[in-house]
């Protein structure tokens, strides 16, 4: 998808005496957004926005190295070294023949040349890091997103490896002084490595104003030397992953409170130790009425959250992977008041919400680093598919556009829609990039990722395994041979789908827990990248007493229990 960006000037920090101004240049191709207020705590803001920067540049993918260029470079180096050695031997022979040694003047010239070489090399390295926009564009597919709302300012970023999402929320009343010239909305802001380095210059002894400057919307930009346009070809996976973050944030999850000391011990242990065998997971042990515990596998290191109590029902251990990505929280730990973890399930995404008084940092992690948010569309397969009606989407979108911010209960009361249809409409708007679920505040906000809503063609269509499963059910090629109720409200079913023998285990909420199938998809991936079409079809048939109740009733009951009273 092609995205147009236009900026007047560059974002940056300007200082004058005991005052400073942090200016962000908004995208002129979007709606005008303006905000001008003094930062109450510049130092705290510096640490929080720097942690968000660490999320954006995070790339922990393991890539197989391409040694073609290295081999060519090595061959050239060997040839060059051979020529140098030959020339050196020839020069040494001449010096020997002339009985002339290395003079002090020659040593001084050699030292000057060496210093000049390393000085120029360092300058060139810094120049590339600071001023090469193409190189930086390779690191950040799209500029960060800033949303100015009635109560907060939101800063969002997506990691390079598409496995981590960060959102910094700053309350306007506590984080900023009274603002002037506010225009609510969402925009991209010009961002660069130089701006991140300027963040580090924020100090408490200097009053700093935070400015989203809309002057580019009111002045003539044609012919202005500071005006520039960029066209970015956003990868479909980047958009799809960012949309899936919001879908996952709205799923029912297990909430665990952790003390700051436990998270510090966790990060310190991971920094000092490198695992050499599997499993490489964080195991959450949750027993009702007991302090939650986190076990680092395979070391067996058990960290107990003393001072915290888990009040939910006792659960089987929940494992999450990709724990090295948590190092981005190190910079905000000294500011943290509360740390809350939202666990969707074993091997599924998790959200780490760090409360810092007037600010909140939300870190969303995919199931593991290699299974990035781009492939997070498998989240849609873990629950029964529900297609919202056009009227429901229009009602929910209209309410959010008008109110800008609503809780689940307020949406439920105002829309008067069934719980299942309301959730399906919210999921649809989240996939279209129009809705953000603020985990910290527990509300849905109207926020457009791009100037226009996204369609299936922009972010990719529905999962092919799900479409194939629905087709098998419609053709009548899926049947259940045995269905058995198990303890803990679980159900085990076996059957045949498209001549494939398979079996599934799912809970009371119809979430797939285990499965077995002989198809190529399942043999290769298991449930790591979502269930195959045969398991999905078998679950559809096993949970359907009638076609109308196959999806809605159990899911509506789940959402009804989930909605706050």
Rg for the chain, CA atoms, rounded:
28
Question: Residue 481 falls within a domain, yes or no?
Answer: yes
On whether the CB atoms of residues 536 and 469 are closer than 8 A, the answer is yes
Query: Looking at the structure, do residues 558 and 481 belong to the same domain, yes or no?
Result: yes
CATH code, domain carrying 397: 1.10.10.10
Tokens of 256: 């665990």
- Please state the pTM of the whole predicted model: 0.74
In angstroms, rounded to a whole number, what is the distance separating the alpha carbons of residues 552 and 540?
A: 12
| Cα-based distances in Å from 493 to 182, 476, 511, 524 | 57, 17, 13, 22
**Last-in-domain residue among 459, 483, 515:** 459
Question: Residue 64 falls within a domain, yes or no?
Answer: no
Query: Looking at the structure, do residues 208 and 312 belong to the same domain, yes or no?
Result: no
Query: Looking at the structure, do residues 426 and 495 belong to the same domain, yes or no?
Result: no
Query: Looking at the structure, do residues 226 and 371 belong to the same domain, yes or no?
Result: no
Q: Which of 355, 9, 384 is nearest to 189 (CA)?
A: 9
φ/ψ of 77, rounded to 5, equals -65, -40
Domain range for 109 is 69-135
Question: Residue 267 falls within a domain, yes or no?
Answer: yes
Query: Looking at the structure, do residues 9 and 82 belong to the same domain, yes or no?
Result: no
Query: Looking at the structure, do residues 204 and 319 belong to the same domain, yes or no?
Result: no
Query: Looking at the structure, do residues 499 and 395 belong to the same domain, yes or no?
Result: no
In angstroms, rounded to a whole number, what is the distance separating the alpha carbons of residues 352 and 325?
A: 11
Query: Looking at the structure, do residues 42 and 80 belong to the same domain, yes or no?
Result: no
Query: Looking at the structure, do residues 271 and 304 belong to the same domain, yes or no?
Result: yes
**Last-in-domain residue among 459, 480, 500:** 459
Q: What number of H helices and E strands is found in the chain?
A: 16, 26
Question: Residue 321 falls within a domain, yes or no?
Answer: yes
In angstroms, rounded to a whole number, what is the distance separating the alpha carbons of residues 153 and 176?
A: 10
In angstroms, rounded to a whole number, what is the distance separating the alpha carbons of residues 442 and 184?
A: 20
On whether the CB atoms of residues 519 and 500 are closer than 8 A, the answer is yes
Query: Looking at the structure, do residues 73 and 104 belong to the same domain, yes or no?
Result: yes
In angstroms, rounded to a whole number, what is the distance separating the alpha carbons of residues 392 and 251?
A: 19
Q: Tell me how many domains the chain contains.
A: 5
Question: Residue 434 falls within a domain, yes or no?
Answer: yes
Q: How far apart are the first and last CA of the chain?
A: 42
Tens-binned pLDDT, residue by residue, of the chain (565 aa): 667 777 887 888 888 878 888 888 888 888 888 889 999 999 999 999 999 888 887 777 666 666 777 788 888 888 888 888 888 888 777 665 555 556 778 878 877 887 787 677 556 655 655 666 555 444 455 667 889 998 999 998 888 777 889 999 999 999 999 988 788 888 888 777 777 888 888 888 888 988 887 775 555 555 566 676 666 656 666 777 777 788 788 777 899 999 999 999 999 999 999 888 888 899 999 999 999 999 999 999 999 999 899 988 888 899 888 899 999 999 999 999 999 999 988 878 899 999 999 999 999 998 877 776 765 546 656 555 566 788 888 999 899 988 889 988 899 899 888 877 888 888 888 878 888 888 888 899 988 887 776 666 555 556 778 888 888 888 889 999 999 888 877 889 999 998 899 999 887 656 677 889 999 888 887 776 678 889 889 988 888 733 333 333 344 444 444 444 3
Tokens of 309: 């109590």
Query: Looking at the structure, do residues 267 and 366 belong to the same domain, yes or no?
Result: yes
**Last-in-domain residue among 212, 232, 252:** 232
Question: Residue 62 falls within a domain, yes or no?
Answer: no
Q: Is 344 helix (H, G, I), strand (E, B) or coil?
A: coil
Query: Looking at the structure, do residues 303 and 343 belong to the same domain, yes or no?
Result: yes
CATH code, domain carrying 30: 3.10.150
On whether the CB atoms of residues 415 and 396 are closer than 8 A, the answer is yes
Question: Residue 238 falls within a domain, yes or no?
Answer: no
């Amino acid at each position: 998808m092609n995205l147009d960006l236009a900026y007047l000037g560059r974002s940056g920090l300007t200082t004058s005496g005991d005052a400073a101004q942090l200016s962000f240049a908004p995208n002129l191709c979007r709606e005008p957004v303006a905000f001008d207020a003094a930062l109450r705590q510049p130092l705290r803001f510096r640490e929080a926005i720097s942690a968000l920067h660490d999320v954006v540049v995070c790339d922990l993918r393991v890539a197989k190295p391409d040694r073609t260029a290295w081999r060519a470079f090595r061959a050239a180096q060997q040839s060059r070294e051979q020529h140098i050695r030959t020339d050196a031997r020839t020069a040494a022979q001449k010096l020997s023949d002339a009985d002339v040694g290395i003079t002090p003047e020659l040593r001084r010239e050699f030292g000057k040349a060496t210093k000049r070489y390393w000085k120029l090399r360092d300058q060139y390295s810094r120049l590339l890091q600071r001023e090469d926009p193409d190189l930086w564009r390779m690191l950040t597919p799209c500029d960060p997103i800033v949303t100015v709302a009635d109560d907060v300012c939101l800063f969002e970023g997506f990691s390079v490896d598409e496995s981590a999402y960060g959102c910094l929320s700053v309350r306007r009343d506590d984080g900023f002084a009274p603002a002037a010239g506010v225009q609510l909305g969402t925009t991209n802001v010009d961002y660069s490595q130089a701006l991140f380095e300027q963040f580090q210059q924020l100090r408490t002894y200097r009053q700093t104003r935070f400015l989203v400057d809309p002057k580019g919307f009111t002045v003539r930009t044609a012919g202005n030397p500071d005006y520039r346009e960029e066209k970015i070809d956003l990868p479909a996976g980047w958009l799809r992953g960012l949309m899936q973050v919001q879908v996952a944030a709205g799923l029912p999850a297990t909430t665990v409170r952790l003390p700051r000391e436990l998270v510090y011990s966790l990060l310190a242990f991971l920094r000092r130790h490198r695992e050499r065998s599997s499993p490489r997971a964080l195991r959450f042990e949750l027993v009702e009425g007991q302090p939650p515990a986190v076990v680092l596998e395979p070391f067996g290191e058990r960290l107990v959250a003393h001072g915290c109590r888990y009040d939910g029902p006792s659960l089987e251990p929940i494992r999450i992977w990709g724990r090295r990505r948590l190092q981005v929280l190190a910079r905000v730990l000294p500011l943290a008041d509360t740390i809350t973890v939202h666990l969707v399930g074993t091997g599924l995404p998790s959200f780490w919400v760090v409360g810092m008084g007037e600010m909140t940092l939300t870190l969303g992690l995919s199931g593991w680093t290699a299974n990035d948010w781009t492939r997070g569309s498998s989240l849609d397969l873990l629950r029964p598919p529900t297609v919202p009606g056009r009227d429901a989407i229009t009602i929910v979108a209209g309410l959010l556009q008008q109110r800008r911010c609503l809780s689940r209960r307020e949406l439920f009361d105002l829309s008067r829609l069934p719980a299942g249809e309301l959730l399906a409409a919210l999921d649809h708007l989240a996939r279209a990039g129009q809705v953000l679920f603020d985990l910290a505040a527990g509300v849905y906000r109207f926020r457009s990722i791009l100037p226009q809503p996204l369609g299936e063609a922009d972010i990719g269509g529905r999962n092919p395994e799900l479409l194939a499963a629905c087709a098998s059910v419609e053709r009548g090629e899926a049947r259940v041979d045995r269905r058995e109720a198990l303890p803990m409200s679980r159900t085990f079913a076996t059957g045949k789908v498209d001549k494939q023998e398979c079996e599934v285990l799912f809970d009371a909420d119809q979430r797939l827990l285990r499965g077995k199938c002989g198809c190529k998809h399942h043999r290769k991936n298991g449930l790591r990248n979502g269930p195959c079409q045969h398991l999905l079809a078998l679950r559809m048939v096993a949970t359907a007493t009638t076609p109308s109740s196959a999806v809605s009733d159990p899911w509506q009951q789940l959402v009804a229990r989930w909605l706050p009273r």
